[in-house]
A = this chain, B = another copy of it.
């Protein structure tokens, strides 16, 4: 009902132009922001007419949310699949590492996305709920992992698993925005990651 990516090899012409518009809009929004980017610019960048954009997306806002939704995609993981044969400690560390390298690789898009999410107005409830659901997924996964790690004696029992998971996520978000502000020379993601691991598993293993 939403995305027919499956139309491999023979994407309908419309789908193609839609993608190009989305791509152009993503780049321009990220570079210049929502309001500073006019539909005419998006059209030019995408190599189509302005009216075509309005054929694909009823309003500028609709385009905006389509862009945001697209930006969100890479975050989505199959939580079930994530359960591997590795021990929990390693899984957690890998998760953290994956998050941080994702941050490093997509800093600009993320910066834009977070900024938009933080806006007082705008962020549609739908998108917000999507983000919340994602957050909850990660939190549940982490809670579970931490609990198992504790059961296996890999991690101190002193910490409450659920709270620890929330705290860990919050900390990762902190690293994210600190990184967005300061860049890597002022704030070493690796170093911070080390501290995180130390905190979680310190004195163990």
Q: A200 — nearest CB in chain B belongs to which residue?
A: B199
Residues A51-110 near B (CB distance < 8 A):
108
Shortest Cβ distance from residue A193 to the other chain B in the assembled complex, whole angstroms: 10
- Could you tell me if B173 and A178 are in contact, using CB atoms closer than 8 angstroms? yes
A183, chain B: closest CB distance, angstroms: 11
State whether the Cβ of A13 lies closer than 8 Å to any Cβ in chain B. no
Q: Which residues of B contact A187 (CB under 8 A)?
A: 166, 170
Contact indicator A174/B170 (Cβ below 8 Å): yes
Contacts A163-B191, A177-B177, A202-B158; is A121 near B170 (CB within 8 Å)? no
Beta-carbon contact of B31 and A121 below 8 Å: yes
Q: How many copies does the complex hold?
A: 2
Contact B122 A118 (CB under 8 A): no
Q: Give the contacts of A156-197 with B (CB-CB under 8 A).
A: 158-159, 163-164, 166-167, 169-178, 180-182, 187, 191-192, 195-196
Main secondary structure on A side of the interface with B: helix
Is there an interface contact between B118 and A118, defined as CB atoms closer than 8 Å? yes
B residues within 8 A CB of A202?
Answer: 158
Neighbouring B residues of A198 by C-beta, 8 Å: 158-159
Instruction: Decide yes or no whether A114 CB sits under 8 A from chain B.
Output: yes
Once bound together, how far apart are the Cα atoms of A146 and B153, in whole Å? 30
CB of A111 closer than 8 Å to a CB of B: yes
Q: Nearest chain-B residue to A175 (Cβ)?
A: B170
Residue ID in chain B nearest A199 by CB atoms: B199
Decide yes or no: A118 and B120 within 8 Å by CB, A158-B202, A187-B170 being known contacts: no
A residues touching B (Cβ–Cβ < 8 Å)? 30-36, 108, 111-112, 114-122, 131-132, 135, 158-159, 163-164, 166-167, 169-178, 180-182, 187, 191-192, 195-196, 198-199, 202
